[in-house]
């Protein structure tokens, strides 16, 4: 089961997805809301935190979550503050009841990862791809439009039209033709 803990939060935050199952994992912690309370409200016993990237809006709650649940954090670059363990490009990561392949997808930030489970048809896209062809900002430090387009293309070539769920860093998740939203993001990034 995948639950966006930040869904009704009014403060500036990223989405924070609690993926429950064999290995209960929080994908991004969000910021400016009580993530610990929301996890406890669900009765979840957290096994780990996995990060799409380390922008503050995605990791603002990291300290409180790792302290409350005694868990470690996994991300692309363990040199980044708060990242305990490295996830390599194309490494398999267990989230909930499924194995996901990690895809290093720079362009928005150098340490950006997406996670894709082919058997479940689920993609966690972080700030690479959003609903309706939206894509991550490239005007921030480490932003690079050319690399972002390459990363979107890589995701589009990895997933296929059987993609069932697209979970994004901001805004609503997409469950109706999410592959089309991936295609639209690639087109829009080339035009911008």
User: Which pLDDT does position 58 carry in this prediction?
Assistant: 98
Domain locations in the chain as residue ranges: 2-191
User: pLDDT per residue over 72-114, tens digit each?
Assistant: 999 999 999 999 999 999 999 999 999 999 999 999 999 999 9
Burial class (CB in 10 A: 0-12, 13-18, 19+), 135: buried
Residue by residue, pLDDT tens for the chain (192 residues) are: 999 999 999 999 999 999 999 999 999 999 999 999 999 999 999 999 999 999 999 999 999 999 999 999 999 999 999 999 999 999 999 999 999 999 999 999 999 999 999 999 999 999 999 999 999 999 999 999 999 999 999 999 999 999 999 999 999 999 999 999 999 999 999 996
Structure token digits, residue 69: 């649940």
What is 2-191's CATH topology? Metallo-beta-lactamase; Chain A (3.60.15)
pLDDT recorded at residue 158 = 98
27: nearest Cα among 1, 184, 88: 1
Taking alpha carbons only, the member of 48, 49, 56, 46 closest to residue 14 is 56
Total residues belonging to the chain:
192
CA dist., res. 10 & res. 25, Å (int):
23
């Amino acid at each position: 089961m995948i639950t966006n803990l930040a869904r009704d939060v009014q403060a500036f935050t990223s989405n924070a997805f609690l993926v429950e199952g064999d290995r209960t994992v929080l994908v991004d912690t969000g910021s400016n809301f009580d993530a610990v309370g929301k996890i406890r409200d669900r009765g979840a016993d957290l096994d780990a935190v996995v990060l799409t990237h380390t922008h503050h809006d995605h990791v603002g709650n990291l300290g409180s979550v790792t302290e409350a649940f005694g868990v470690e954090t996994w991300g692309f670059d363990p040199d980044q503050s708060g990242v305990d363990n490295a996830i390599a490009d194309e490494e398999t990561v267990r989230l909930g009841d499924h194995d996901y392949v990690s895809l290093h997808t720079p362009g928005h930030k150098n340490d950006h990862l997406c996670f894709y489970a082919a058997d479940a048809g689920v993609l966690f896209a972080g700030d690479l791809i959003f609903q309706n062809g939206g894509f991550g900002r490239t005007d921030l430090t480490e932003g690079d439009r050319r690399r972002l387009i390459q990363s979107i293309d890589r995701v589009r070539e990895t997933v296929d039209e059987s993609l069932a769920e697209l979970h994004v860093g901001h805004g609503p998740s997409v469950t109706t033709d999410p592959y089309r939203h991936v295609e639209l993001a690639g087109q829009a990034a080339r035009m911008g």
